[in-house]
Amino acid sequence: MSNFVSTIESVNGALNSFAWGPLMLLLLVGTGIYLTIKVNWLQVTHFGRILKNTVGTLFKKQDSKDHGANISPFQAVTTALAGTVGTGNIAGVTGAIFTGGAGAVFWMWVAAFFGMITKYAEILLAMKYRIKDENGVYHGGPMYYIENGIGKNWKWLAVIFCLLGGFASFGIGNIAQSSEISGALTDLFKLPPLASGILIAVVVALVTLGGIKRIGKVTSLLVPFMSIFYIVAGIILILMRITHIPAVFGQIFAGAFSFKSVGGGLFGYTIMMAMKQGFARGVFSNEAGLGSAPIAHAASSTEEPCEQAIWGVFEVFIDTIVICSITAFAVLLSGILDAEGGLSAYASKGAAAAAAFNTILPGTLGGKIIELSLLFFALSTILSWAYYGENCWGYLTKNNKTFILVYKIIFALVCIVGAMGSGTLMWDIADTLNGLMAIPNLIALLMLSGVVAKVTKDYFSKNMLKK
């Protein structure tokens, strides 16, 4: 058994080196830069307008109209955010800083800045090329804008995306998350892993068997609560050490542009590791470029592609610039990065984040905040990825109802597997699948960039004239 695991680790290591190697990072960030230029730096020139028409609408009386078989624009956003705001925001960011240094935070911000437009483009195309089934439910995502946008001859690329996304739903979307929830339930309530797994499986089954309507209702309540909870706790933590903030920014920028060698290694090794970890964790967290979030957005009842797409800019902003940065500041303000033993001194990346919060907040309050956050973040991610996986396998089976039902049951049962075992290997495999599923999506985004630019220009020109 140990030889089998070693083989899996070896194969995954080789694939991961490719998935997150220089070529992949160039494609990932380069696509974001290219799309940003194509839409005239939309995330800068229209940022105020984007905030007004996204987060600004949350303070207005919500429209109670019936959205038919689909979900409201806000529920589509919270479903997508449920998938993006996950354990990567805490454990992933913490691991990135330990591995790539403080400079990884800067490159995470860079990835997020350009990722805002990558996600905007994904959602726009998902909305434009989505289909409606016989029940009136919208289905969209990379597989549909590849087939219906690029052309039927490219359907093989859509199939590859769906296979990668379908299998990734069990890794990033399930086992890695169930493991984190199990650990949190054990620490908080002394619940055994098996009991945790059964509880998670039951909750996931009850929600996912109700379809996108039920998932949307749950995430519209869960996501705002968990996000505000973590953001408020983080702001309090930062205020308690506000005088150290300038030094932290100094660490981040110095680490981001440090060309020194490490341990006699290659010149510039430090900056390469900072960039690799920053880009990888940024994408793992906000999922810009992966093609997953637009699957949820495509279920929105909104008719105008750009109106839903601008939520993608806000989505990346709140996920990475706000929530991930809170974790990063906690780790850097706490000083645990300089402690003896490094990351290996802690049971997990989440435990390291808990230690950072405990160092600043009184007693064990910080650890409890991290455990509760991990629990909610991971649960929300499972619910979203169940829907992503359903759509990927649905595309491959022409939405065969029996197959989809079997998938949902298996997905729920896999939660028990995740809760019972170590999530370390699954986390690594999920990281690899993430990188690989981004490739067909980014190719499609580049090929359809002209469509993105035209639709964007038409929409904003029309709406600016109205003003």
pLDDT of res. 262: 43
User: Cα dist. 404→156, 409, 411 in Å?
Assistant: 21, 9, 10
Residue entry with tokens 């969209």: 140
pLDDT of res. 293: 93
Residue 51 is assigned to a structural domain of this protein: no
In angstroms, what is the C-alpha Rg of the chain?
21
Give the C-alpha separation, 218 to 296, whole Å.
14
CA 60 to chain centre: 27
Task: Divide the 467 residues of the chain into consecutive groups of 10 and give the mean pLDDT of each group.
Answer: 77 83 80 96 90 74 61 87 86 89 92 95 97 90 97 96 92 85 88 94 95 91 92 94 95 82 49 79 83 94 92 93 95 87 79 91 88 91 95 94 96 92 66 83 96 95 63
Residue 46 is assigned to a structural domain of this protein: no
Residue 444 is assigned to a structural domain of this protein: no
Note whether 32 and 115 are within 8 A (CB): yes
Domain count, the chain: 1
Note whether 214 and 71 are within 8 A (CB): no
Residue 131 is assigned to a structural domain of this protein: yes
Instruction: Report the greatest alpha carbon distance in the chain.
Output: 66
pLDDT of res. 291: 93
Residue 28 is assigned to a structural domain of this protein: no
Residue 250 is assigned to a structural domain of this protein: yes
- Per the structure, the complete domain to which residue 341 belongs is given by 69-437
CATH number, position 228 = 1.10.4160
pLDDT of res. 60: 60
pLDDT of res. 193: 92
Tell me the pTM: 0.91
Residue 455 is assigned to a structural domain of this protein: no
Residue 463 is assigned to a structural domain of this protein: no
In 3D space, the residue among 8, 2, 7 whose CA is nearest the CA of residue 426 turns out to be 8
Beta bridge partners of 131: 139
Tokens found for residue 62 = 């919500």
Rounded (5°) CA angle 59-65-69: 120
pLDDT of res. 259: 64
